[in-house]
Structure 1
Amino acid sequence: MIDYEILKAVWWLFIGVLLVGFAVMDGQDMGVGTLLPFLGKDDDERRVMINSVAPHWDGNQVWFLTGGGAMFAAWPLLYAVAFSGFYWAMLVILAALMLRPLAFDYRGKVAATRWRTSWDWMLFVGSVVPPIICGVAFGNLLQGVPFEIDSTMRPTYTGSFFGLLNPFGLLCGVLSIVMIVFHGANYLVLRTEGSLHVRAVKVSTLAGLATAVLFVLGGVWTWLGVDGYVATAGLDPAGPANPLAKTVEIQAGAWFANYTSCPVLWLVPVLGLAGALGGVAMVRAGRAWPAIICSAVTILGVVLTPLVSMFPFVLPSSTMLNASLTIWDCTSSQLTLQIMLFVTLIFLPLVLAYTTWAYRVMGGKLNAEYIQKNTHHLY
């Protein structure tokens, strides 16, 4: 069997990959949905935007479902704490996500302007809310979440929904949605022509620059105003799932300790910044494919930066320090992690291969003329 501590580290990496996959794949259609009421100036242009993501948006939801399922199976205690502490936030996300299939399917059923405009705004809400809340959640993870664990390993959340809406959390939420808009605008640059294409280039430029600025601001804020967590004793990488066995302290600058001890990790936030600036340069140069690759790299860097900063912590507690969850003490059994690993190694390449094929077959430029010629079988 594979060593227990190696399996724990591998599953930390896999869940990070799933989070990045969700942000990259679902991020492009959420970015397009966020821009829909503003970038499309008439019904044809909005239909171009909708149909650019129509073949893929539902398949991209697989990353969200797989990430939640993997978290439940690999980190059951984290899942229990997160889904009780972030319960109302999760409900808001699910309610928003429910609007998306309704908007896609019902928008084109009636040709009335008011009908279609209403569904456009529903698609906007379903696209803008999840990235903002996910960003707010990441901001709160870095600050610590108010929860406690009793001797029977039963977690209790002691905070409130509105307590999550603190200034640093909101900054991370704004960064998240701007980053997603950047990625969605680059996708529109790749798939559209004419005046819609020109407006997408402008939005991509502004969103890319804003992403870079907000990412740097978040890093400076973390350095100056967000204290990190350090396990000072009792943390056994190969030990059982018992968070209460360790001692944890809060220290200023602790979230940068991993970068200090292993300088190569600085490449992760550098990717986030370089991807944003590179994406702006590529889209201004008229190179759509490199631009969307750059925005995907931006998402990779921005999502992985807090995960690397917090390692091995995955859910710090602000009210009961030793209850803070790490990858070493909130995981499932060795056998469970090993079975999951084998299943993932089989099916993840299949998902990637199918996704690549789908984008290759259903790619190409869209314009108003194509929409008008195929109006009866398009959204």
Structure 2
Amino acid sequence: MHDIVPIDYETLRLIWWLLLGVLLIGFAVMDGFDLGIGALLPFVAKTDEERRIVINVVGPVWEGNQVWLILGGGAIFAAFPLLYAVSFSGLYLAMMVILIALIVRPVGFKYRSKIGDPGWRSKWDMVLCFAGVVPSLILGVAVGNVLLGLPFEFDDTLRTFYRGNFFQLLTPFALVAGLVSLSMLIMHGAALLTWKTSGPIADRARTYGRWAALAAIVLFALAGVWVAYGIGGHVLTSVIDPNGPSNPLGKTATVTTGAWLSNYKTYPWMMAAPILGFAGAVLALVGFTVRKPALTFITSGVAIFGIISTAGVSLFPFLLPSSISPNAGLTLWDASSSKLTLWVMLLSTAFFLPIILLYTAFVYRVMRGKVTSDSMGKNPNAY
């Protein structure tokens, strides 16, 4: 029968690997500053008016920014169903903690200003801080555990068996990865605050931003050394047909210390990812120091792009290694949906993603400018 898909299976799989990375990075960049600002709320704003200013920096846009998380989860579900099944089952409790934090965030936004009592508002400020710190930390812990490999295996019928628990996810390396995530998102949130506010709030945000940028640089370097010398990476020991059917049990793999760095020898261009991670964080640190808020925000976004891309290209072609059964680890070539499914999804994405980008650009153009007491007074919808 004539193949109605004009792109070969290997190329479609590569395209969706890249698109998945774009969507996850999009979430980290767009919703990352919401999380970072939430984490900083009790520290950069001391009075109720200052805290209202900080909240209203993200108040009009945080809901739209979460679209990137929904898109990323949907892409995993449709393009890599085995990855969705294994990761969401194995990381179920971690995902629930993240979801609880993301659920209480809008409650905090809506309820905080319902009552003028300082005690009431202070409690909701702590909720918003919790909703910023927890997802930022646990998402990084999840990435750290992906690099370590999750304890799962398949039987002959491809049923998944997860052999771990929530507390086994909190290993030293995974916690370092979580701190990398937390520090880079706090840096990103501080960068936006220096751009969108002024006076004492911007000054405090600049101070915390410098510390967060420095922490991101040091922790990212520490994680890199740990990956090189302290944890095992997975290596394919059999040939996989990139155009073949999806069957994770049709290959063999082994674990070798430092193997996650082998891609940088095979594909030298991948070195661009860690370079951008370090360069973006260093330039953001400089931007905080010389008071260039727009440059700081852009370069902190570059740092996020580089740091997350480093994890992705280091794993390639693995998507989710198994720590107890290396042969069962999921790769780009054996965990995807069918060729036709990937093609139909690609056409849908080509249509809808530009619309989302245009709408997002329009919203941020309308919301441009600094948030001040006067601008909040003119806006009846301010929090």
What is the identity, as a one-letter code, of the residue corresponding to 2:332? I
Q: Partner of 2:255: helix, strand, or coil?
A: strand
Q: Partner of 2:237: helix, strand, or coil?
A: strand
1:247 to 230, 246, 252: 252
Give the superposition deviation at 1:227: 1.3
Give the superposition deviation at 1:54: 0.8
Q: Is the 8 A contact 1:148 1:156 kept in 2?
A: yes
Which aligned pairs between 1:178-257 and structure 2 lie closer than 5 A? 178-257=183-262
Indicate the residue corresponding to 2:268 in structure 1.
263
Aligned residues: 378
2:147 to 142, 156, 170: 142
Unaligned segments of structure 1, at least 5 residues: none
Indicate the residue corresponding to 2:104 in structure 1.
99
Give the superposition deviation at 1:253: 1.8
What is the identity, as a one-letter code, of the residue corresponding to 1:35? L
1:350 to 329, 345, 355: 355
Unaligned segments of structure 2, at least 5 residues: none
Q: Partner of 1:23: helix, strand, or coil?
A: helix
Q: Is the 8 A contact 1:234 1:245 kept in 2?
A: no
Are 1:362 and 2:367 matched, yes or no? yes
Give the superposition deviation at 1:94: 0.7
What is the identity, as a one-letter code, of the residue corresponding to 2:35? M
Q: Partner of 1:233: helix, strand, or coil?
A: coil
Q: Deviations over 1:103-123 (max 9, x none)?
A: 011111110001111111111
What is the identity, as a one-letter code, of the residue corresponding to 1:377? N
Greater mean deviation of Cα atoms: 359-368 or 5-14: 359-368
What is the identity, as a one-letter code, of the residue corresponding to 2:381? H
Give the superposition deviation at 1:283: 2.2
Q: Partner of 1:148: helix, strand, or coil?
A: strand
Indicate the residue corresponding to 1:378 in structure 2.
382
Q: Partner of 1:14: helix, strand, or coil?
A: helix
RMSD between aligned alpha carbons?
A: 1.0
Give TM-score, length-normalised by structure 1.
0.98
Q: Deviations over 1:127-153 (max 9, x none)?
A: 111111110011111111100011111
Q: Deviations over 1:186-228 (max 9, x none)?
A: 0000000111111111111111111111101100011010111
Give the superposition deviation at 1:287: 1.2
Which aligned pairs between 1:55-134 and structure 2 lie closer than 5 A? 55-134=60-139
Distance, in Å, in 1 between the alignment partners of 2:269 and 2:326 is 29
Distance, in Å, in 2 between the alignment partners of 1:310 and 1:375 is 47
Which aligned pairs between 1:166-185 and structure 2 lie closer than 5 A? 166-185=171-190
Q: Is the 8 A contact 1:36 1:124 kept in 2?
A: yes
Are 1:329 and 2:297 matched, yes or no? no
Spell out structure 1 runs of 4+ moving beyond 4 A: none
Distance, in Å, in 1 between the alignment partners of 2:37 and 2:136 is 13
Distance, in Å, in 1 between the alignment partners of 2:138 and 2:312 is 17
Greater mean deviation of Cα atoms: 61-70 or 257-266: 257-266
Give the superposition deviation at 1:234: 4.0
Q: Partner of 1:245: helix, strand, or coil?
A: coil
Give the superposition deviation at 1:367: 2.2
Distance, in Å, in 2 between the alignment partners of 1:272 and 1:359 is 25
Q: Is the 8 A contact 1:183 1:295 kept in 2?
A: yes
Indicate the residue corresponding to 1:284 in structure 2.
289
Distance, in Å, in 1 between the alignment partners of 2:239 and 2:229 is 29
Distance, in Å, in 2 between the alignment partners of 1:289 and 1:375 is 25
